[in-house]
Chains A and B, each alone.
Chain A
Amino acid sequence: MDRPPLTDAPAPRAGPPSGGFGRLSFGFLGVSVLSGVLLVPFYSPAAAWDSLENIQGGLAWGFFLRALHAYSSFAVLVTMALHVVQVLAARTERQLAAGVWWRSVILLPVTIAALLGGFVLRGDAEALAALAIWKRILESVPFAGAEIARLFLGSVPGDLGAVALHHAGTLTLLLWFFTAEHAGRLLPDVRGTVLAALVSLALAGTVPLPLGAPPAASPAHLLGPWSLLGLQGALVYLPPAAGWLLPLAFVLLLGLVRHAESPARRTLLAALAAACAVYAFFTVRVLLSAR
C-alpha cells in the first residue's frame, strides 16, 4: 500500500504559539478566585479593617490565605502583561476575531479594576485614600460621573459593600468570561493551574504580606496599588479626568494594533512603549518620594 510522503512541514501545535503566559494567567486567575472564595466567610465589608486584622492574626493560616489571594491576583496582571508583549512580538493578534480581541484587550482594565477593588477592601489608611481618589476620578467623567461613581462604589459613604460585590462578582465574572472566550476553554488547563498554584504558594509562604496602617492613621506618604503608582505620580501634574482618560487611551491604542498595517502598527507599538516607559518613570518617582 502506498503511503503519502513525509513532508518538512511542522506538526500543528496544541495551542496558539504565544499562549504560554496566557495559560499561566488563566491558572493564576483560578488560584485567585479559589483563594478569594476561601476568604469570603471571614471578611466583612462593614468592618473591613477589623476583619482583615482577624484574618491576618486570629485565623489559623489566615495570613497565608490572604497572601495567596493577593500574590495570585498580582500574578494574573503580570502574566497578562507578559502575554500581551509576547503576542505583539509574535504578531499573532490577528489569530483572534476582532470582537474577541477587543474583549481580550478590555481584560487589562478589568483586571486592574479588580485589583484596585481588592486594595480598597483592605480598609486601611491607604485603601481609604485610594477609595476617595477613585471616587473623584469617576466623578470627573462628563454627564454621568456621579452616577458611575455610585454604581461602582455605592451611595453610602464609608460602606464597602458595593466595592466588595463588584470585586468578587461583576469584575471576577467578566474576567472569567472574557478569559474563557479568549482561551477557547471554560477552565484553565492543568499544567498552567498547577504551575500558578506552586508559584503562588511559594510566594505566600516566603514573602509575608503585612497589614497596612489603621484607617485613622495619618502617615506622611500613602501609596496606591503597585499597578497604579504611575497614575498616582502623573495625577500630581494632571487633572482628575486623566485618571480615566489615560487608561482609556492606552486601551484604545492597544486595541487598534490588530487593525493597523505596518508602518501604522509600528507607530502604535512605539506609542505604547513610550507610554509604558513614562508610566515606569512616574512609578519610580512615586516610590522614591515615599522613602
Chain B
Amino acid sequence: MSSRRDFLGQLWTWTGRALIAASGLVLFRALRSSAPPVREVALDAAAVARAVASGGAAIGEIFVSGTAEAPVARSLACTHLGCRVAGAPGGFACPCHGSRFDAAGAPVAGPARAALARVSLARRGDAWIARL
C-alpha cells in the first residue's frame, strides 16, 4: 500500500518537474526568437546639416560629424557597459565608469576597450536613416 502511495507521489513530483522543464524550454525558445531587430532611427536632414556645420553634435543617442554630403555617425553608447557618453574636452567621457574616448571615438582611458560603434546612415527623402 505504502509503495503504491510512494510511486504515485514520485509520479506527481516528476511530472511536475517535467512540466517546469518544458515550460522553461518553451520560454527560452520564445525569448530567443524575440531578439529585437535592427532599429532604424530617422534623423532630420536639417539637424544633421547643423550638427555637421558645428563640427559635430549629438542627435539623441547618435553623434554626427563629417560633411553634409557624407555625414559620419557614431553611437553614444559606451562600449564598456552601455551608458551614454557625453561630450568632453577632446572627445567623449562616460559618466558611469569614467571611460574616455577621443574625438574619433577611440578609447583613450578607463575600462572601455573598443571604439564607439559606427552607425550606418542612408539618405531617405528629407531624413537620414540611422541603423542601430
A and B: partners? yes
Which A residues between 125 and 182 are near B, CB-CB below 8 angstroms?
128-129, 132-133, 135-137, 144, 146-147, 150-151, 155-157
The answer for the CA separation of A128 and B61 in the assembled complex, in Å, is 12
B131 to chain A, nearest CB (A): 13
> Interface SS of chain B: helix, strand, loop or mixed?
loop
Which B residues between 33 and 58 are near A, CB-CB below 8 angstroms?
34-36, 39, 58
CB of B96 within 8 A of CB of A222, answer yes
- Whether a CB of chain A sits under 8 angstroms from the CB of B64 is no
A153 to chain B, nearest CB (A): 11
The answer for the CA separation of A236 and B113 in the assembled complex, in Å, is 12
Query: Which residues from A are CB-within-8-Å of B77?
Result: 132
Q: Bits for B12-46, please: 1 = Cβ < 8 Å to A, else 0.
A: 00000000000000011001101110010000000
Query: Which residues from A are CB-within-8-Å of B81?
Result: 132-133, 136-137, 235, 240
- Whether a CB of chain B sits under 8 angstroms from the CB of A17 is no
The answer for the CA separation of A221 and B28 in the assembled complex, in Å, is 37
Interface size classification for chain A: 20 to 34
Say yes or no: A136-B82 contact (C-beta < 8 A), given A129-B95, A150-B31, A219-B95.
yes
B4 to chain A, nearest CB (A): 27
CB of B82 within 8 A of CB of A132, answer yes
CB of B31 within 8 A of CB of A236, answer no
The answer for the CA separation of A188 and B87 in the assembled complex, in Å, is 50
CB of A129 within 8 A of CB of B28, answer no
CB of A147 within 8 A of CB of B28, answer yes
The answer for the CA separation of A135 and B83 in the assembled complex, in Å, is 11
Most chain B CB atoms below 10 A, which of A218, A221, A224, A232:
A218
The answer for the CA separation of A157 and B97 in the assembled complex, in Å, is 22
Say yes or no: A155-B36 contact (C-beta < 8 A), given A132-B83, A232-B96.
yes
Interface residues of B (CB under 8 A from A): 27-28, 31-32, 34-36, 39, 58, 77, 80-84, 86-87, 93, 95-98, 110-111
Interface residues of A (CB under 8 A from B): 128-129, 132-133, 135-137, 144, 146-147, 150-151, 155-157, 218-222, 224, 232, 235-237, 240, 289
The 5 A-B pairs with the shortest beta carbon distances in the complex, nearest first, are A132-B82, A218-B86, A147-B31, A222-B95, A129-B83
